[in-house]
Amino acid sequence: MKANFEAARALYARTKAEKFALGAFNIDNQETLIAIARAAQAKQSPVLVEVSAGEVEAMGLHNVRCLVDNYRHEYDIEMYINLDHSPTVEAAKAGIDAGYEFIHIDLSQAKKDATDEEIIAATKEVVEYAKTTGALVESEPHYFGGSSNVHTEDINYDEIRKTFSTPEEAKGFIDATGIDTFAVAIGNLHGLYPVPKQLDLDLLAQIRAAVPGYLSLHGGSGTPEDHFRGAVAGGISKININSEMRKAFRAGLEKVLADNPKEYAIVKLMPEVIKGVQDVVELKLEIFGSAGKANER
């Protein structure tokens, strides 16, 4: 298990040195995990599988660990787990105990009125506990909005700009907590919207120049390719994708069900669904620059 954490840290260091980003892809079923594994194999890319609180509740914290390990060996790929948006210190510690290599503590998601002092204290506690395994810890001062779904409303940038990160805030938070990764808010937003997202790459450059460590980009779905490439060139080491995969999964499932109204062995219909999600992941791995970056195992 110790080798997993050492390899994860070495990989993360390479993202900065070689200018690529790790794709962090949420799963809420085994089929989506298979799609990620096949994409990683096809592109010879390292990947992060991630689960948030609802997905942990559905699949089981330790079950996910075992599934990822099994598929990592089966497909001979470089694959790690990120516990995404842990709402409590206890949940983050449970992920550390379960051997997750990446841990994201986000106290303000569950406790919207959490004070800066509470968020810093909780994050510091997780950072200290993570030393027991070597897990990398990610956080940010406040949850910046949206949800991992397909939205019909436009993005109100006048409003979300109020929640953008600043170089001073990012540096202060990192210094106060000791986190490995700071989750920036630069125009990214959880979910998929009818309009493309617009990242403030100039702001990203200012943040990158002001802080040590790693930077992550949540809410990646629906971001134009050139903005992704600019973010990677600007120092982003990890990009989260969820809603685009969910949309592909549902669209694929609806199609195969409609095309096969008399088939009740759903497992026979899943290859097309899996392939649709795999296509989404493969494209992102190319855009993020991680294709061909997997370490030999």
Which tokens sit at 31?
């089929």
Residue 152: per-residue pLDDT: 77
The letter for the amino acid at 211 is V
Is residue 297 domain-resident?
no
Domain with 74, as residue range(s), is 2-287
Residues above pLDDT 90, as percent of the chain: 82
Query: 101: domain CATH number?
Result: 3.20.20.70
Is residue 292 domain-resident?
no
Is residue 269 domain-resident?
yes
At which residue do the structure tokens 């990012």 appear?
170
Give the tens place of pLDDT for each residue, 66-107.
Answer: 999 999 999 999 999 999 999 999 999 999 999 999 999 999
Q: What is the 3-state secondary structure (H, E, C) of 123-188?
A: HHHHHHHHCCCCCEEEECCCCCCEEEEECCCCCCHHHHHHHCCCHHHHHHHHHHHCCCEEEECCCC
Is residue 76 domain-resident?
yes
Q: How far apart are CA 200 and CA 148, in angstroms?
A: 21
84 is catalytic: yes
81 φ, ψ to 5°?
-120, 135
Is residue 13 domain-resident?
yes
Give the tens place of pLDDT for each residue, 112-171.
Answer: 888 999 999 999 999 999 999 999 999 998 766 667 777 878 777 777 888 899 999 999
Give the tens place of pLDDT for each residue, 264-286.
Answer: 999 999 999 999 999 999 999 99
Q: Considering 28, 84, 106, 200, which one is annotated as catalytic?
A: 84
Give the tens place of pLDDT for each residue, 172-205.
Answer: 999 999 999 999 999 888 787 877 888 999 999 9
Q: How many domains does the chain have?
A: 1
Give the tens place of pLDDT for each residue, 39-60.
Answer: 999 999 999 999 999 999 999 9
Is residue 92 domain-resident?
yes
Predicted TM-score (pTM) of this structure = 0.94
DSSP 222-241: T--HHHHHHHHHTTEEEEEE
Is residue 293 domain-resident?
no
